[in-house]
Structures are given as C-alpha cells and as structure tokens.
Structure 1
C-alpha cells in the first residue's frame, strides 16, 4: 500500500511538473517578445535623451532662436520616447525611484516651479551633485519643460538663456541622459531573470493594465472634470506647459501597441481566443485614429466645444480599450488585478 501511495505521489509530481513546464514554454515567446521590444524602447529613450542633453548644452553655449527650437524639439522627442515605455513599472525602473526621476507627476502643489525658484535664487552653483540631492521634482522631464516653456519664467530675468537657468537646464538634461543609459543597460542585464521567472508574465500584463487605468482616469478624466470636483482643468494634465498633453497620450498608446500588444496577442492565441486578440488590435487602431485631430493644447481641448467633443469621443474609445484589456483579456489569462495606484491621490 505504501509503495502504491509513493508511486501515485510520484506520478502526480511528474504530471504537475509537466503542466508547469508546458505553462512556462507557452508563456516564453510572449516574454521574449516583451523583453526584446522594451529593450528597443529603452534604447530609443537613451538615444533621444542623449540628443536632448547635447542640444541643450549647445543652445546654452551659443544661444539663438534656431538653437532654442532644436533644443525644444529634442526635449519633445525624448519625452515622447519616455512615454512609450512609461507603462513598464517593474524591474530596473523601480530602482532609486527612477520612474519619478523621469517624470514627477502629478504635481498639484506646483513643486517643480517652487524647486526651480529655490535653485535659481540660491547662491550655490548648479552641479550634478546639487541635482542628485534635490529630489525627483528637479531631476526629470517636467523640470526641463518648466525651464523651456513656463510663461512666467520666460517673462522674467531668469528666462533662458540666463546663465544659471542654462546651467540648470544642462544639468537636468544630463541627469535624464545618464538615467536613460543606465536603465537601458540594466534592462538588458535583467533579461535572464525576466525570462526565467514565470510571474513576470502577469506582472507585465498588470503594468499595462495600470497604465491604461491611469491614462483613462488621471490623464483624461480628471482634466476633463469627470473625476473629483467636476471642474475642467488643463493644469491637472501632464505636460500642460508645453501643450503636449495629448501628444504624450498618443505616445503612451503607441508604446503599448508596439511593446505590449504583440505579446498579449500571442498569449490570447495560445488560449484559443484569437478573436479577442483581434478585437483588442482593432480597438488600438481605432483609438489612435483620433490623432492628429487631438494634437492641441489641453486648454484648447477643454475650452472649445467642438474640440471637447472630440476629446470625449477619444475618452470613450480609451475606456473601451481599457475594458477589453483589463476586464476581458486579463480574466481570460487568469491575471488577478492588483493594487491600482491611480485610485489614490
């Protein structure tokens, strides 16, 4: 009897191991695709961030309208490259609050402006060490946006190319470039652990789910007055100073479509749900078809009736996409919804 029990247990273990192995191998193509694609996104970020640092330095060295325009475009290109990989909220990006260093947002207390004023008024020279110890509100794309685009600052004696403001812009751009290169290198080193650790399948899916929820609830519904105090406010959106709030939204959706959707499609096809994969692909296409009609500053989209109507239609399309991914695909793949960071304030 004991031998029979032992044989039964052994058989059960073999079956369990075979099942686990099958699950692992079925998930591997998706994880390989995700890692490779995110690596490409991080490398693009590193390249664009380095170009922003170079153009900011060149502008401050030889100021002029053309050099300023080049630096501003380089900031936009690097910022949009960040938006495309912004959904990745695990792995190396968790080290040293890197995500917050790239983009301190939301900023309801206007801490970025206050930090900039403090640094510009201080007698201490701006240096990499000062940037490193000044906190995440100073270290990323929103601070550079403030220096380049803030109207009150640009009407003051501290407007670029004032020497200290230029020093701050160059130092922040260098910090972004350094972090971008580090992130790309660390993600490459993370490859083996990512590919051999099965829970990263669900972690990757949850990161996209959270990104869609934040996009729907925080980046769209809140400025539109559909969340909180029911008042429309462009200041609740990210990148409002540069008027690129909807460009960043488009970039986030493009990034999800490029870096996340192909892996999700593989998993759904392996789960015998190719029709759901096709519906999600079509919905991504439909959402992105709203552009470039929405390439306007958020203040314009909120204040003009026709523009706001287009924004509402876009919001509905994003909501439908979120439902397909977060409620249908996630359930089909057995992904349990985790804590949604967009629910808190």
Structure 2
C-alpha cells in the first residue's frame, strides 16, 4: 500500500496554501501569528466563523482559542456585570442557572452546530458536482483530478468538525460511520474498495447500510489519491468503474448530510435547546454533548496519534487517518477547533460565559483557555506535514508526543474542574462498536 508521495503531498499543500481550498487550514507561516492573535480577539473579531456564519469558509482553521477571558475579566469583578442584550434591554440581573444553560445551548445550536452542518452539506454538493464533471470527460488529466481533490479536502475538513457531534441525527442509522468508517486501517479500506470493484457492484443501487468501510470519505479518498500503478485513478484499466464508484459515494454523502442537516434545523434543534424530546432537561443535553466531546478528545489522542505513533519508528503508518491525502494533522486541528467552539460558542454565550457569569469561576475558564492555546501551539509547527514522515525520526516523533501531552493536560482540566462545576455525568465509552 502506497500513501501519497512527496510530490503528491506538495500538490495538496499548494492547494491549501494558495487559496484553492478556501480556508482549509494550510497557508504560509504568517498564519502562525494570525492564529495566535485570534486567541486574543474573541470579542473583537466577531463570531469566529468566517463569512456567512460559517456557511462558506467555516472549514477555515485559522485556529486559536479566541482568548475571550481577557475581555470577560472586565465584566467579572462585580463592578459592571450588566450589559444590554440584543434588544436593548438591561441585562444587569444575573441569569438563573437554567436560563443560562438554555442560553448556552441556544448559542451552540444556532450559531455553531447548525451553520457547520449546513456548511458540510454545501461541501458534499460541491464534491458531487466536481465528481460528475470529472466523470463526463472522455480523457482525464492530473489537472482534472486537482479540482476534485480540492472539493474532497474541503468536504473532509468540514466533516472533521461535524464528527465531534456524534449524537442526535448524526447517530441515526449510524450515519457518522457511513460518512467515515473510522478508526480502521488503510489496508481494510483498500481491500474493501478493490473487492467491491472486482465484484462488479452495481453502484446505481447506492449503498444503504452495506459495509460502511466501502462507502464514505475514506473510500473516496483512496479512489482519488491512491498512487499504486495498477489501481491509481489515472492509470487503472477500470477507470470508468472507479468514476461510477466515486459518483455513488458523493451522492450518498449528499443524501446523508442533507437529511441530517434538515433534522438539526427542524425538530432536533428545539429538543436540544429546550431539553425536550429524548432529553429530560437541559442538564441531560449538556451531559450528552460532553459525553461525545470527551470521546472525541480521547480519540484524537489515542486513535489519531498514539496508535500510529506505536512504540518506535516508523510507527504504524496503516493506522493514519486520511493517510492517502496525508492531511491527518489538519484533521486534528479541525477537531480541536470544533471542541473549542462547542465549549465557547465563539463570540456568543458559551460555557465559558456560564462559568464566569453563573459560577464565578473565571479561573477555571482561564485554565481551559491556556490548555487549548498550548495544544494549538504544539500542533501549529507540524500541522501541514505528513504524519507518516514525522513518524520516521526521533526528533519529529517527539513533536508528536508533545502534542499528545498537551492533549492530556487539556483533558485533565476539563475532566476535573469543568466536569465537577457543570455536574456532568460521564463515564461512557461510545467508541465501542464503531
């Protein structure tokens, strides 16, 4: 199994850095300063989701934890805790615990989650359009593939944000697994895809619940980025069949993302905000949200970093997520951005505000903020590099280990003080059985 070559990775990085993939987290070294600066500008820089509430550029990974605490400190000393709300009413009376939780959940749903779902849905439509255009060509060139790679990269990074919310509509019929069957090995993906092609599967039938490892973003990635001579898209004898396969996956992604997004925008949003439906109350919603929040933080550490890292060089390359496109570290950056946004709601009323306004625990928020900043600072120097290559030397492996350590430190703060203050019930490992 051959992962993307250095030349292939250079093409991907060029896409990310030149703007062909709008806001996908590549970019020049100047992004370092921008990312760190954003840590200090939550209340000054707007919502944090670029342009149109994240419906276009929200896969942007100009990350950072939007260091809002510096601004919030001014309102936490008891001198002037009253501000006017959006309708101009005096909000000097502190919110009750339940009202504050409802306000947080409303912000998270309406300003964070739903725009991100819509953005992912838009990306899947663009991926289908690009794939359809590709497959209409009588002769495909490498330049033609670049256009589809651009759309896959955008769709994948937007999915990496969504994947941190594995509950509600996304969990129905295991839709998250149909979009991305993972964790798994790249070898399993390759074998599943090639067997499906050899069996002359009728892709017009779609996939339904058929073998999740042969559908979704990883299978599409392999078909598009694989460079083995006999099975690479440009050189394979069964290129038309591979095109049908990719088109079927893209259609499947559009169908799933449209359905899930619609459910969020309609009935589930109200249940999430009000603690209704399958939820007993607001606390039940918060428990559910952070159950999967912690699950994915653990998955980043264990599945995305520790398992590929292995005991010694060159690690276990087959276990690298997005190993053919070699964007696994960018995936992680997007995951972490999602986790922070779910906590802070960017410029809206988030759990950080709840800690400060209701619990008077800006100290805990500051600890969380510092730990997020630390994670992003450790990830920043290596995020655009190939994880497979980083696994090869002791020096670069140490850089990965530093990221792992910073993630452990973040989890320690969140799982102790934050969980206790929020009275969150945890302890379930929902990764079992994926």
- For the criterion TM > 0.5, the same-fold answer is yes
Indicate yes or no: 2:347 matched with 1:265. no
The residue number in structure 2 matching 1:131 is 207
- Mapped contact 2:186–2:320 kept (Cα < 8 A): no
Aligned: 1:167 with 2:252: no
Pairing partner for 1:29 from 103, 108, 118: 103
Q: Tell me the CA shift for residue 211 of structure 1.
A: 1.1
Given the superposition, is the C-alpha separation of residues 126 and 331 from structure 1 closer, same or farther in structure 2, using an over 3 Å criterion?
Answer: same
Q: 1:142 to 1:109 in 2, by over 3 A?
A: closer
2:315 maps to 232
**Aligned 8 A contact 2:169 2:264 in 1:** yes
Cα distance, 1:342 vs structure 2: 4.6
Higher fraction of helix: 1
Instruction: Determine which structure has more spread, i.e. the larger CA radius of gyration.
Output: 1
Gapped regions of structure 2 (runs ≥ 5):
1-94, 276-281
Displacement of 1:328 in angstroms is 2.4
User: RMSD of the alignment, in Å?
Assistant: 2.4
Q: 8 Å contact 1:58–1:67 — kept in the other structure?
A: no
| Residue 86, structure 1, aligned to residue 163, structure 2 | yes
* Whole-angstrom distance in 1 between the partners of 2:107 and 2:390: 37
The answer to whether residue 132 in structure 2 is matched with residue 45 in structure 1 is no
Give TM-score scaled by structure 1 length.
0.86
Say if 1:224 and 1:328 are closer, same or farther in 2 by CA, change over 3 A. Answer: farther
Say whether the 8 Å CA contact 2:187–2:318 is kept in structure 1.
no
CA displacement, residues 319-344 of structure 1 (integer Å, 9 cap, x when unaligned)? 11111212221122111222123578
Separation of aligned partners in 2, 1:222 and 1:142: 18
Tell me by how many angstroms 1:112 deviates: 2.3
In structure 2, what is the equivalent of residue 275 of structure 1? 363
- Would the alpha carbon gap of residues 331 and 177 (structure 1) be closer, same or farther in structure 2, given more than 3 Å must change? same
Aligned length: 322
Tell me: CA distance 1:299–1:160, structure 2 relative to 1, closer, same or farther (3 Å).
farther
Q: Provide TM-score, normalisation by structure 2.
A: 0.69
1:182 matched to which residue of 2? 259
Offset of residue 264 of structure 1: 2.4
- 2:271 aligns to what? 193
Mapped pair 1:142 → 2:221: no
Q: Aligned equivalents of 1:88 and 1:27: distance in 2?
A: 18
Point out where structure 1 has 5 or more consecutive residues left out of the alignment: 1-20
2:395 alignment partner, one of 290, 295, 306: 306
Is 2:291–2:428's contact at 8 Å kept on the other side of the alignment?
no
